Structure 1
Amino acid sequence: MPTSPPARRRPTWPELPLAVRVAVEERLGARVERWASNDGGYSHGLASVLETSAGERVFVKAADSSNEFTQWLYREEARRVVALPRSVPTPRFRWAATLDAAPGDAWEVLAFDAGTGRPPRQPWRADELAAVVGLAGRISDHEIEPGALPEAADELPTGHWDELAAGEHPGLDTYDPWVATNVERLGALAATAGEAVRGGSLVHGDLRGDNALVEQGPDGLTAVAVDWPNAARGAAFVDVVGMLPAVRLEGGPEPEDVLAAHPLRPGTDQGAVTVFLAALTGYFLASSLRPPPPGIPHVRAFQRAQGEVCVAWLRRRLGE
C-alpha cells in the first residue's frame, strides 16, 4: 500500500527577508530566539513554531507573492477562522497581516498559538485514529448559522466525471477497468453530491493526519485540528469520510472497517455518504491525471493513491 509523500522543505525563519522578520517580531512583541520548521503538508510557505524572548510559542505561516495560491489559502483561512465558535478544538488564532519585504514583494502572514500536540504516527495506531475520528465528531457537533461560513455544497468540486468521460485527462485506463466501464453512471451518481453534503454542521474540509495534533492528557488521548482555509457549513459526515482514503494510505484500516469501529452519527443518510464518495473519487482521479502544479510535483502521486483507495471503496459500497 503506498504511503503519503515525503515531507517537503519549507523556507525557515532565518531565510525570511529581514523586513518580514522584524515586522513579525514587532507584532509578537518579543524577539524570536528559537524556531522549528514543520515540513509536512503541501503549501510552499514558512510553517514554523517560533519561541520568543517572552517565553511564548507561536505558530507562524508565511508565503511570499510568488506563491499566489498559498497566499490565497492564507487569506481564506484568516477570513474563515474568525467565524469558528470559540469551543472548536483548535489552537487560538492570533492575527493575520500583509507585510512588505520590498516593493512588489508582499508576504501573507498568519499567527496562532502553537499546539502542544504532535501529528499522528504512521502507520496509524488505533488509539490515535480513534482520537482523530472523535475530533471530526467534535467539530461536526458545532452548529453553524447560515451565512457564517461558505456552504460545503457550493464549494464541492464538480464536473470531474464529465471531464473523465470526455477523455480530457488521458490515462483513465491506468485505473481499474471498472471505472472506464462505468464512468457515465458514476458521474450521474456524483452529480447529486451538492445536495448530499448539505447540512448545518461545521466542516473542516481537509481533515487528515497532517492537519491534526494528538496529545496525551489526564483524561486520555485528545486531538485538535489545524489549517482551516476550507472551513464550511455542511453535513456532519463529510470530515470523517473525506479523511479515510488518506488514513488507509498511511497504514490505517480499510475505510469501511473504520466506519464499523466508529459509526457515523445515528440518522446519517448512507446514500448521501456514497454519493459524496463518488464525487471524491472523481476529484482524485481527474486531479491525478493532470500535470503537476508548480513546486508540488509529488501531489499527483498522492492524489492517484487516494483515487485507487476510493475506487475500491466505492465498488464495495455499491456491491460491485
Structure 2
Amino acid sequence: MTATTTRTRPTWPDLPASVRGAIEDRIGAAVTGWTSHDGGYSQGLASTLRTDRGAVFVKAVSTEHEFTVRLYRQEAERAAVLDGSAPAPHLHWMTEAAADGHEWVALAFDAVAGRAPVPPWREDELRAVLDLAVEVGEHQVAAGVLPDAGSELPARLVGRLAAERPAGLASYDPWLAEHLDRLATLELEAPAAVAGDRLVHGDLRGDNAVLVERGRGGLRALAVDWAYAARGAAFCDLVGMLPAVQVEGGPTPEEALRLRPLPAGTDEDGVTAYLVAETGYFVHSSLQPPVPGIPHLRAFQRAQGEVCVAWLRRRLA
C-alpha cells in the first residue's frame, strides 16, 4: 500500500506584488531565485528564496484558505518557543500583507540544505525519521510553554462514531463497528496517556521531515511544520507517524517499532489509548466532505484509518 501527495504549490511569481514586497522588506533584500518544495497538504507557497544576503525558506498563504492561515499563525506562536537544540529549522519572522481583498500570512525559517523522503520508504530514510521522532520526545518542555498534548487530541471522535453510527462506517472492517463501545471507553484514557513533560511535534510524517546528509552516507532528519507542537509523552510522535509510514510503502507499525523501539518506560496501555484516539480522528475525518483546495486529504486519512483499525485490532486481540 503506497500513497503519495501530488500537490503543486504556487511559486514566487504567483504571489501578488504587494505580498512579494512585504516578504522582501522583511528579508531586507530582493529575491533573485527560488526553489519550490511541492507535495504536502497545505495550499500555499513553500519555497526556498535566494537573495544576495543568503537563502531563506518561506511559506505563505492567503485568507482564501482560512484554516491554513490559522495553522500558520499558530505555528508562528509555537515554533517561536522552540530552543536552538530542537531538531527544527529556526523561525525568523512572520509577516502579513493585503492583496486582492485577502490577507496573506508568511513565515520565514532557516533554509535547510536537505530533501524530503520520497515514498516508498527506504530503510535508511525511515530510520532517520524514526530517530527524529524519538529525538523530539527527548526534549523536555517546561509547564505552560506549550499546550498539553491531551488538550490537542481530537474531541472523543470514537465516542461520536459510536453514538452516530454514520453510514460510511460500514466501509471499514466490521470489527470497528462491533467494538466501538469498548473503544469509546478506552478513548477516555487518551488525555492522561499522552500527558508528560516532553516535546511533541503532533503531526510528524515523511512530508514534515527534511533529510540532511551528515557524512559517510549517514542521514539526520529535522522536523518542519510545528503548528501542533505540544507538551506530552515521549512516545506520541513515534506512534503517531506509523500509520502514514505503512500507507507510504513502509513496514507495518510493529515492524517499524522493531527498527526503533518505543522509549524506555512507555506504558503499552497508554499507547493503545492514544491509538484509539488517532483511529477515531482518521476514521471520522475520512467520512467528512472533501476539504476545499486539498482534494487528496480524505483519501490519505482513509488509508491511515484502515492501518489504525488493523493495528488496533491486533493490539486488542
- TM-score, length basis structure 1: 0.96
1:100 pairs, out of 95, 98, 101, with 98
CA RMSD of aligned residues (A): 1.2
Contact 2:286–2:301, Cα closer than 8 Å, also in 1? yes
Deviation track 1:60-106 (CA, whole Å, cap 9, x = no partner) reads 1111121111110010010001111210011111110111225x422
Specify the SS of the correspondent of 1:60: strand
- C-alpha displacement of 1:168: 5.5
- C-alpha displacement of 1:166: 2.4
Rounded Cα–Cα distance in structure 2 between residues aligned with 1:182 and 1:137: 31
Residue type at the aligned position of 1:173:
A
Residue type at the aligned position of 1:110:
L
- C-alpha displacement of 1:139: 1.1
Rounded Cα–Cα distance in structure 2 between residues aligned with 1:10 and 1:210: 14
Rounded Cα–Cα distance in structure 1 between residues aligned with 2:247 and 2:192: 28
Report the identity percentage.
56
1:78 pairs, out of 76, 79, 91, with 76
Deviation track 1:154-208 (CA, whole Å, cap 9, x = no partner) reads 1100221122122363210111010111111111111210011000000000010
Q: Which residue of 1 aligns with 2:245?
A: 247
Structure 2 counterparts to residues 166-181 of structure 1, below 5 A: 166-167=163-164, 169-181=166-178
Specify the SS of the correspondent of 1:171: helix
Rounded Cα–Cα distance in structure 2 between residues aligned with 1:151 and 1:64: 29
Contact 1:77–1:228, Cα closer than 8 Å, also in 2? yes
Specify the SS of the correspondent of 1:149: coil
Q: Which residue of 2 aligns with 1:160?
A: 157
**Which 5+ residue runs of structure 1 have no aligned equivalent?**
none
Specify the SS of the correspondent of 2:104: strand
Q: Which residue of 2 aligns with 1:139?
A: 136
Rounded Cα–Cα distance in structure 1 between residues aligned with 2:14 and 2:49: 14
Residue type at the aligned position of 1:129:
L
Q: Which residue of 2 aligns with 1:182?
A: 179
Contact 2:140–2:197, Cα closer than 8 Å, also in 1? yes
Contact 1:118–1:213, Cα closer than 8 Å, also in 2? yes
Rounded Cα–Cα distance in structure 2 between residues aligned with 1:177 and 1:202: 36
Q: Which residue of 2 aligns with 1:3?
A: 3
Rounded Cα–Cα distance in structure 2 between residues aligned with 1:118 and 1:10: 16
Rounded Cα–Cα distance in structure 2 between residues aligned with 1:25 and 1:162: 48
**Which 5+ residue runs of structure 2 have no aligned equivalent?**
none
- C-alpha displacement of 1:136: 1.2
Distance 1:169 1:57, change over 3 A: farther
Structure 2 counterparts to residues 278-297 of structure 1, below 5 A: 278-297=276-295
Contact 1:169–1:290, Cα closer than 8 Å, also in 2? no
2:148 pairs, out of 125, 133, 151, with 151
- Are 1:194 and 2:185 counterparts? no
